[in-house]
Structure 1
Amino acid sequence: MELLTIGHRGVMGVEPENTLRSFVAAERAGLDVVELDLHLSADGALVVMHDEDVDRTTDGTGPVAAHPLVALRALDAGRGERVPVFEEVLDAVALPVQAEIKDVRAARALAAVLHARGLVGRVEVSSFHDEALAEIARLVPGVRTALIAGRHGPEVVERATAVGAATLCLKLRHLTLETVEE
Protein backbone atom coordinates (compact mmCIF):
# COMPACT_ATOMS: atom_id res chain seq x y z
CA MET A 1 0.00 0.00 0.00
CA GLU A 2 1.42 3.37 -1.01
CA LEU A 3 1.76 6.12 1.56
CA LEU A 4 1.42 9.58 0.11
CA THR A 5 2.33 12.96 1.45
CA ILE A 6 -0.32 15.17 3.00
CA GLY A 7 -2.85 16.20 0.40
CA HIS A 8 -3.58 14.73 -3.01
CA ARG A 9 -0.38 15.97 -4.69
CA GLY A 10 1.65 16.19 -1.51
CA VAL A 11 2.83 19.12 0.53
CA MET A 12 4.91 17.96 3.48
CA GLY A 13 5.33 14.91 5.66
CA VAL A 14 4.33 11.36 4.87
CA GLU A 15 1.07 9.97 6.22
CA PRO A 16 -1.49 7.51 4.86
CA GLU A 17 -3.62 9.31 2.30
CA ASN A 18 -7.04 10.62 3.36
CA THR A 19 -6.85 9.39 6.94
CA LEU A 20 -7.58 11.29 10.14
CA ARG A 21 -3.85 11.09 10.83
CA SER A 22 -3.06 12.92 7.57
CA PHE A 23 -5.61 15.68 8.21
CA VAL A 24 -4.41 16.26 11.77
CA ALA A 25 -0.80 16.37 10.49
CA ALA A 26 -1.84 18.94 7.87
CA GLU A 27 -3.37 21.15 10.54
CA ARG A 28 -0.30 20.82 12.80
CA ALA A 29 1.94 21.70 9.85
CA GLY A 30 0.10 25.01 9.49
CA LEU A 31 -1.79 24.39 6.27
CA ASP A 32 -4.71 26.71 5.56
CA VAL A 33 -7.24 24.18 4.29
CA VAL A 34 -7.66 20.44 3.77
CA GLU A 35 -9.00 18.95 0.56
CA LEU A 36 -10.72 15.61 0.46
CA ASP A 37 -12.90 13.53 -1.82
CA LEU A 38 -16.22 12.05 -0.78
CA HIS A 39 -17.86 8.84 -1.94
CA LEU A 40 -20.97 7.11 -0.69
CA SER A 41 -20.71 3.68 0.89
CA ALA A 42 -23.28 1.02 -0.03
CA ASP A 43 -25.37 2.17 2.93
CA GLY A 44 -25.09 5.89 2.17
CA ALA A 45 -22.27 7.05 4.50
CA LEU A 46 -20.05 9.91 3.26
CA VAL A 47 -16.68 8.17 3.11
CA VAL A 48 -13.40 10.06 2.66
CA MET A 49 -11.53 8.33 -0.16
CA HIS A 50 -9.87 9.77 -3.26
CA ASP A 51 -10.44 6.83 -5.58
CA GLU A 52 -13.70 5.10 -6.49
CA ASP A 53 -12.09 1.83 -5.41
CA VAL A 54 -10.39 0.99 -2.11
CA ASP A 55 -7.60 -1.02 -3.79
CA ARG A 56 -4.81 1.59 -3.93
CA THR A 57 -5.11 3.07 -0.44
CA THR A 58 -6.32 0.17 1.72
CA ASP A 59 -5.82 -3.57 2.11
CA GLY A 60 -9.25 -4.14 0.53
CA THR A 61 -10.55 -4.44 -3.01
CA GLY A 62 -13.51 -3.19 -4.99
CA PRO A 63 -15.57 -0.04 -5.30
CA VAL A 64 -16.30 2.07 -2.23
CA ALA A 65 -19.98 2.02 -3.24
CA ALA A 66 -20.05 -1.80 -3.05
CA HIS A 67 -19.08 -1.89 0.65
CA PRO A 68 -21.25 -0.97 3.63
CA LEU A 69 -19.61 1.36 6.12
CA VAL A 70 -18.86 -1.41 8.62
CA ALA A 71 -16.81 -3.26 5.97
CA LEU A 72 -14.95 -0.10 4.95
CA ARG A 73 -14.13 0.63 8.60
CA ALA A 74 -12.53 -2.82 8.90
CA LEU A 75 -9.98 -2.01 6.18
CA ASP A 76 -6.45 -0.83 6.99
CA ALA A 77 -5.76 2.48 5.28
CA GLY A 78 -2.11 2.44 6.37
CA ARG A 79 -0.35 2.43 9.74
CA GLY A 80 -3.47 1.03 11.36
CA GLU A 81 -5.63 3.95 10.25
CA ARG A 82 -9.23 3.33 9.24
CA VAL A 83 -11.24 4.83 6.40
CA PRO A 84 -12.86 7.94 7.90
CA VAL A 85 -16.30 9.36 7.31
CA PHE A 86 -16.67 13.06 6.59
CA GLU A 87 -18.03 13.92 10.03
CA GLU A 88 -14.91 12.48 11.69
CA VAL A 89 -12.66 14.75 9.69
CA LEU A 90 -14.81 17.73 10.69
CA ASP A 91 -14.41 16.72 14.34
CA ALA A 92 -10.65 16.04 14.07
CA VAL A 93 -9.57 19.38 12.56
CA ALA A 94 -10.76 22.97 12.77
CA LEU A 95 -9.45 23.92 9.32
CA PRO A 96 -11.68 24.92 6.44
CA VAL A 97 -12.45 21.95 4.18
CA GLN A 98 -12.70 21.69 0.43
CA ALA A 99 -14.85 18.62 -0.26
CA GLU A 100 -14.96 17.16 -3.75
CA ILE A 101 -18.12 15.28 -4.70
CA LYS A 102 -18.63 12.97 -7.63
CA ASP A 103 -22.39 12.86 -8.14
CA VAL A 104 -25.83 14.16 -7.18
CA ARG A 105 -26.35 11.47 -4.50
CA ALA A 106 -23.18 12.59 -2.72
CA ALA A 107 -24.38 16.20 -3.03
CA ARG A 108 -27.60 15.30 -1.22
CA ALA A 109 -25.78 13.44 1.57
CA LEU A 110 -23.31 16.30 1.96
CA ALA A 111 -26.13 18.85 2.07
CA ALA A 112 -27.67 17.00 5.01
CA VAL A 113 -24.38 17.17 6.95
CA LEU A 114 -23.82 20.84 6.10
CA HIS A 115 -27.30 21.74 7.33
CA ALA A 116 -27.14 19.57 10.45
CA ARG A 117 -23.79 21.06 11.50
CA GLY A 118 -24.17 24.62 10.20
CA LEU A 119 -21.07 24.36 8.02
CA VAL A 120 -21.91 26.63 5.11
CA GLY A 121 -19.01 28.96 5.92
CA ARG A 122 -16.42 26.24 6.61
CA VAL A 123 -16.86 23.89 3.65
CA GLU A 124 -16.33 24.65 -0.02
CA VAL A 125 -17.72 22.02 -2.37
CA SER A 126 -15.92 21.21 -5.60
CA SER A 127 -16.68 18.85 -8.45
CA PHE A 128 -15.95 18.02 -12.08
CA HIS A 129 -19.67 17.29 -12.40
CA ASP A 130 -21.98 20.20 -13.20
CA GLU A 131 -25.11 18.40 -11.96
CA ALA A 132 -23.56 17.69 -8.55
CA LEU A 133 -22.57 21.35 -8.09
CA ALA A 134 -25.97 22.60 -9.21
CA GLU A 135 -27.63 20.24 -6.72
CA ILE A 136 -25.50 21.27 -3.74
CA ALA A 137 -26.03 24.95 -4.59
CA ARG A 138 -29.79 24.34 -4.75
CA LEU A 139 -29.88 22.40 -1.47
CA VAL A 140 -27.48 24.62 0.49
CA PRO A 141 -27.95 28.26 -0.54
CA GLY A 142 -24.81 30.28 0.08
CA VAL A 143 -22.37 27.36 0.07
CA ARG A 144 -19.18 28.15 -1.83
CA THR A 145 -18.74 25.94 -4.87
CA ALA A 146 -15.92 25.34 -7.33
CA LEU A 147 -16.13 23.76 -10.76
CA ILE A 148 -13.07 21.68 -11.58
CA ALA A 149 -12.35 21.56 -15.29
CA GLY A 150 -9.81 19.04 -16.54
CA ARG A 151 -10.39 19.89 -20.17
CA HIS A 152 -11.77 23.25 -21.02
CA GLY A 153 -12.36 25.87 -23.62
CA PRO A 154 -14.13 29.21 -23.72
CA GLU A 155 -17.37 27.59 -22.49
CA VAL A 156 -15.96 26.69 -19.07
CA VAL A 157 -16.82 30.09 -17.58
CA GLU A 158 -20.41 29.72 -18.81
CA ARG A 159 -20.56 26.23 -17.26
CA ALA A 160 -19.31 27.54 -13.91
CA THR A 161 -21.78 30.41 -13.96
CA ALA A 162 -24.68 28.13 -14.91
CA VAL A 163 -24.12 25.89 -11.86
CA GLY A 164 -23.52 28.79 -9.49
CA ALA A 165 -19.81 28.11 -8.95
CA ALA A 166 -17.90 31.02 -7.45
CA THR A 167 -14.55 29.42 -8.24
CA LEU A 168 -13.16 27.74 -11.31
CA CYS A 169 -10.27 25.27 -10.90
CA LEU A 170 -8.17 24.80 -14.03
CA LYS A 171 -5.03 22.83 -14.79
CA LEU A 172 -2.40 25.40 -15.67
CA ARG A 173 -0.68 23.11 -18.17
CA HIS A 174 -3.82 23.24 -20.32
CA LEU A 175 -3.93 27.04 -20.45
CA THR A 176 -2.36 29.01 -23.24
CA LEU A 177 -1.71 32.71 -23.30
CA GLU A 178 -2.36 34.52 -26.51
CA THR A 179 -1.28 38.04 -27.24
CA VAL A 180 -3.72 39.99 -29.31
CA GLU A 181 -2.19 42.86 -31.22
CA GLU A 182 -4.36 45.86 -31.84
Structure 2
Amino acid sequence: MSLMIVGHRGLMGVEPENTLRSFVRAEREGVDVIELDLHLSKDGALVVMHDADVDRTTDGAGPVADHTADALRELDAGLGERVPLFEEVTEAVALPLQAEIKDPAAARTLAAVITARGLAGRVRVISFHDEALRTVRGLLPEQSIGLVTGRSTDTAAERARELGADLVSAELPHLTREAVDRCRALGLEVISWTVNTGDDLARVRELGLDGVVTDRPEIVAELSRPAA
Protein backbone atom coordinates (compact mmCIF):
# COMPACT_ATOMS: atom_id res chain seq x y z
CA MET A 1 0.00 0.00 0.00
CA SER A 2 1.34 3.42 -0.95
CA LEU A 3 1.91 6.06 1.69
CA MET A 4 0.15 9.42 1.58
CA ILE A 5 2.80 12.11 1.05
CA VAL A 6 2.12 15.41 2.80
CA GLY A 7 4.29 18.41 1.93
CA HIS A 8 5.19 20.20 5.17
CA ARG A 9 4.47 23.93 4.86
CA GLY A 10 4.86 23.22 1.15
CA LEU A 11 8.35 21.78 0.87
CA MET A 12 10.11 23.83 3.50
CA GLY A 13 13.38 21.94 3.19
CA VAL A 14 14.03 23.63 -0.15
CA GLU A 15 11.69 26.66 -0.29
CA PRO A 16 10.61 29.43 2.10
CA GLU A 17 8.01 27.78 4.31
CA ASN A 18 4.31 28.57 4.02
CA THR A 19 4.72 30.61 0.83
CA LEU A 20 3.02 30.21 -2.53
CA ARG A 21 6.42 29.32 -3.99
CA SER A 22 6.75 26.47 -1.50
CA PHE A 23 3.23 25.18 -2.14
CA VAL A 24 3.64 25.26 -5.91
CA ARG A 25 6.99 23.45 -5.58
CA ALA A 26 5.37 20.76 -3.43
CA GLU A 27 2.65 20.21 -6.00
CA ARG A 28 5.22 20.03 -8.80
CA GLU A 29 7.37 17.53 -6.91
CA GLY A 30 4.41 15.18 -6.55
CA VAL A 31 3.09 15.33 -2.99
CA ASP A 32 -0.47 14.13 -2.43
CA VAL A 33 -1.48 16.76 0.12
CA ILE A 34 -0.14 20.17 1.18
CA GLU A 35 0.04 21.09 4.86
CA LEU A 36 -0.05 24.72 6.00
CA ASP A 37 -0.52 26.72 9.20
CA LEU A 38 -3.05 29.40 10.06
CA HIS A 39 -3.21 32.45 12.29
CA LEU A 40 -5.50 35.48 12.23
CA SER A 41 -4.27 38.93 11.25
CA LYS A 42 -5.25 42.02 13.22
CA ASP A 43 -8.16 42.56 10.84
CA GLY A 44 -9.33 38.95 10.93
CA ALA A 45 -7.79 37.49 7.77
CA LEU A 46 -6.61 33.87 7.64
CA VAL A 47 -2.84 34.24 7.42
CA VAL A 48 -0.60 31.34 6.41
CA MET A 49 2.23 31.30 8.96
CA HIS A 50 3.53 28.80 11.49
CA ASP A 51 4.70 31.01 14.33
CA ALA A 52 2.64 33.44 16.39
CA ASP A 53 5.30 36.06 15.55
CA VAL A 54 6.59 37.09 12.14
CA ASP A 55 10.22 37.39 13.28
CA ARG A 56 11.61 33.99 12.26
CA THR A 57 10.16 33.69 8.78
CA THR A 58 9.98 37.30 7.54
CA ASP A 59 11.93 40.54 7.70
CA GLY A 60 9.33 41.96 10.08
CA ALA A 61 8.87 41.79 13.84
CA GLY A 62 6.11 41.22 16.36
CA PRO A 63 2.97 39.10 16.65
CA VAL A 64 0.99 38.16 13.55
CA ALA A 65 -2.11 39.39 15.37
CA ASP A 66 -0.65 42.91 15.63
CA HIS A 67 -0.38 43.26 11.83
CA THR A 68 -3.16 43.84 9.32
CA ALA A 69 -3.28 41.60 6.26
CA ASP A 70 -2.03 44.50 4.12
CA ALA A 71 0.91 45.09 6.46
CA LEU A 72 1.80 41.40 6.36
CA ARG A 73 1.81 41.53 2.57
CA GLU A 74 4.61 44.09 2.73
CA LEU A 75 6.94 41.66 4.51
CA ASP A 76 9.49 39.46 2.75
CA ALA A 77 8.83 35.83 3.66
CA GLY A 78 11.98 34.63 1.88
CA LEU A 79 13.27 35.02 -1.69
CA GLY A 80 10.91 37.92 -2.17
CA GLU A 81 7.83 35.83 -1.37
CA ARG A 82 4.91 37.43 0.42
CA VAL A 83 2.90 36.11 3.35
CA PRO A 84 -0.14 34.47 1.71
CA LEU A 85 -3.72 34.32 2.83
CA PHE A 86 -5.41 30.94 2.99
CA GLU A 87 -7.74 31.82 0.15
CA GLU A 88 -4.75 32.57 -2.10
CA VAL A 89 -3.30 29.13 -1.46
CA THR A 90 -6.56 27.44 -2.47
CA GLU A 91 -6.29 29.24 -5.82
CA ALA A 92 -2.54 28.75 -6.37
CA VAL A 93 -2.58 24.95 -6.10
CA ALA A 94 -5.15 22.27 -6.82
CA LEU A 95 -4.14 19.62 -4.27
CA PRO A 96 -5.99 18.66 -1.09
CA LEU A 97 -4.93 20.70 1.93
CA GLN A 98 -4.28 20.00 5.60
CA ALA A 99 -5.03 23.33 7.24
CA GLU A 100 -3.50 23.45 10.70
CA ILE A 101 -5.07 25.89 13.13
CA LYS A 102 -2.28 27.36 15.25
CA ASP A 103 -4.44 30.03 16.88
CA PRO A 104 -7.76 28.61 18.12
CA ALA A 105 -9.37 31.98 17.35
CA ALA A 106 -8.94 31.14 13.65
CA ALA A 107 -11.29 28.15 13.82
CA ARG A 108 -14.51 30.05 13.17
CA THR A 109 -12.99 32.04 10.33
CA LEU A 110 -11.64 28.91 8.69
CA ALA A 111 -15.02 27.19 8.96
CA ALA A 112 -16.65 30.22 7.31
CA VAL A 113 -14.15 30.22 4.43
CA ILE A 114 -14.56 26.47 3.90
CA THR A 115 -18.33 26.98 3.68
CA ALA A 116 -18.21 30.07 1.46
CA ARG A 117 -15.75 28.53 -0.98
CA GLY A 118 -17.14 25.01 -1.01
CA LEU A 119 -13.87 23.53 0.28
CA ALA A 120 -15.26 20.89 2.64
CA GLY A 121 -14.15 17.99 0.46
CA ARG A 122 -10.70 19.41 -0.25
CA VAL A 123 -9.59 20.53 3.21
CA ARG A 124 -8.87 18.51 6.33
CA VAL A 125 -8.73 20.77 9.37
CA ILE A 126 -5.97 19.73 11.77
CA SER A 127 -4.69 21.13 15.06
CA PHE A 128 -2.90 20.44 18.32
CA HIS A 129 -5.74 22.35 19.98
CA ASP A 130 -8.77 20.25 20.96
CA GLU A 131 -10.72 23.49 21.40
CA ALA A 132 -10.15 24.51 17.77
CA LEU A 133 -11.23 21.13 16.46
CA ARG A 134 -14.34 21.14 18.66
CA THR A 135 -15.27 24.55 17.26
CA VAL A 136 -14.91 23.36 13.67
CA ARG A 137 -16.81 20.15 14.41
CA GLY A 138 -19.64 22.16 15.96
CA LEU A 139 -19.90 24.47 12.95
CA LEU A 140 -19.25 21.84 10.28
CA PRO A 141 -20.47 18.47 11.59
CA GLU A 142 -19.33 16.55 8.49
CA GLN A 143 -15.91 18.20 8.13
CA SER A 144 -12.86 15.93 8.08
CA ILE A 145 -10.59 16.81 11.01
CA GLY A 146 -7.30 15.52 12.34
CA LEU A 147 -5.52 15.71 15.69
CA VAL A 148 -1.84 16.72 15.67
CA THR A 149 0.23 15.36 18.55
CA GLY A 150 3.75 15.41 19.89
CA ARG A 151 4.46 14.45 23.49
CA SER A 152 0.77 13.74 24.00
CA THR A 153 0.72 10.98 21.37
CA ASP A 154 0.04 8.24 23.93
CA THR A 155 -3.45 9.68 24.48
CA ALA A 156 -4.03 10.58 20.82
CA ALA A 157 -6.41 7.74 19.93
CA GLU A 158 -8.90 8.47 22.67
CA ARG A 159 -8.75 12.25 22.16
CA ALA A 160 -9.18 11.93 18.41
CA ARG A 161 -12.16 9.63 18.82
CA GLU A 162 -13.80 12.01 21.31
CA LEU A 163 -13.29 14.94 18.91
CA GLY A 164 -14.68 13.07 15.92
CA ALA A 165 -11.35 13.13 14.09
CA ASP A 166 -10.48 10.60 11.40
CA LEU A 167 -6.70 11.11 11.46
CA VAL A 168 -3.83 11.46 13.92
CA SER A 169 -0.69 13.27 12.74
CA ALA A 170 1.95 12.35 15.30
CA GLU A 171 5.53 13.44 15.85
CA LEU A 172 7.59 10.43 14.81
CA PRO A 173 9.94 10.19 17.83
CA HIS A 174 6.90 10.03 20.16
CA LEU A 175 4.99 7.46 18.11
CA THR A 176 4.98 3.95 19.58
CA ARG A 177 3.55 0.67 18.34
CA GLU A 178 1.04 0.78 21.19
CA ALA A 179 -0.18 4.25 20.18
CA VAL A 180 -0.56 3.14 16.56
CA ASP A 181 -2.47 0.03 17.61
CA ARG A 182 -4.88 2.09 19.72
CA CYS A 183 -5.51 4.42 16.78
CA ARG A 184 -6.07 1.46 14.46
CA ALA A 185 -8.53 -0.10 16.90
CA LEU A 186 -10.60 3.09 16.69
CA GLY A 187 -10.47 3.27 12.89
CA LEU A 188 -8.08 6.24 12.73
CA GLU A 189 -5.54 6.93 10.01
CA VAL A 190 -2.04 7.61 11.37
CA ILE A 191 0.62 9.74 9.69
CA SER A 192 3.84 11.12 11.15
CA TRP A 193 5.96 14.23 11.04
CA THR A 194 8.58 15.14 10.11
CA VAL A 195 9.97 12.34 7.91
CA ASN A 196 13.15 13.64 6.27
CA THR A 197 15.64 10.75 6.25
CA GLY A 198 15.90 7.13 5.20
CA ASP A 199 15.92 6.08 8.84
CA ASP A 200 12.70 8.04 9.43
CA LEU A 201 11.10 6.33 6.47
CA ALA A 202 12.18 2.91 7.68
CA ARG A 203 10.51 3.60 11.02
CA VAL A 204 7.32 4.70 9.27
CA ARG A 205 7.25 1.44 7.34
CA GLU A 206 8.00 -0.58 10.46
CA LEU A 207 5.02 1.00 12.19
CA GLY A 208 2.81 0.48 9.13
CA LEU A 209 1.65 4.08 8.96
CA ASP A 210 -0.70 5.60 6.40
CA GLY A 211 1.44 8.56 5.44
CA VAL A 212 4.31 10.91 6.06
CA VAL A 213 4.76 14.65 6.44
CA THR A 214 8.05 15.70 4.87
CA ASP A 215 10.18 18.76 4.10
CA ARG A 216 12.29 16.98 1.49
CA PRO A 217 11.79 16.40 -2.24
CA GLU A 218 14.00 13.32 -2.13
CA ILE A 219 11.57 11.65 0.28
CA VAL A 220 8.74 12.54 -2.10
CA ALA A 221 10.72 11.03 -4.97
CA GLU A 222 11.49 7.87 -3.01
CA LEU A 223 7.85 7.32 -2.13
CA SER A 224 6.68 8.14 -5.66
CA ARG A 225 8.81 5.45 -7.33
CA PRO A 226 6.87 2.45 -8.66
CA ALA A 227 7.29 -0.67 -6.56
CA ALA A 228 9.91 -3.04 -7.97
Regarding TM over 0.5, the answer is: yes
Distance 1:154 1:84, change over 3 A: closer
Superposed, 1:28-67 pairs within 5 Å as: 28-67=28-67
Q: Distance in 2 between matches of 1:157 and 1:90?
A: 30
Aligned length: 172
Q: Residue 172 of structure 1 corresponds to which residue in structure 2?
A: 172
Distance 1:56 1:104, change over 3 A: closer
Deviation digits for residues 83-111 of structure 1 (CA, Å, limit 9, x no counterpart) = 00000000000000000002432110000
Query: Which structure has more RCO (C-alpha within 8 Å, separation ≥ 6)?
Result: 2
Q: Residue 115 of structure 1 corresponds to which residue in structure 2?
A: 115
Percent identity between matched residues is 64
The DSSP-based 3-state class of the residue aligned with 2:62 is coil
Superposed, 1:1-182 pairs within 5 Å as: 7-8=8-9, 10=11, 14-152=14-152, 154-177=154-177
Q: Residue 3 of structure 1 corresponds to which residue in structure 2?
A: none
Q: Distance in 1 between matches of 2:39 and 2:140?
A: 19
Q: Distance in 2 between matches of 1:63 and 1:21?
A: 23
Q: Distance in 2 between matches of 1:70 and 1:36?
A: 20
Deviation digits for residues 112-151 of structure 1 (CA, Å, limit 9, x no counterpart) = 1000011111000110010100111111121111111212
Gaps of 5+ in 2: 1-6, 179-228
2:151 partner letter: R
Q: Does the Cα contact within 8 Å between 1:131 and 1:163 map onto a contact in 2?
A: no
The DSSP-based 3-state class of the residue aligned with 1:126 is strand
2:25 partner letter: A
Deviation of 1:15 (Å): 1.7
Structure 1 stretch displaced more, 77-86 or 161-170: 161-170
Relative to the length of structure 1, the TM-score reads 0.87
Q: Distance in 2 between matches of 1:174 and 1:129?
A: 18
Runs (4+) off by over 3 Å: 8-12, 175-178
Deviation of 1:8 (Å): 4.3
Relative to the length of structure 2, the TM-score reads 0.70
Q: Greater share of helix residues, 1 or 2?
A: 2
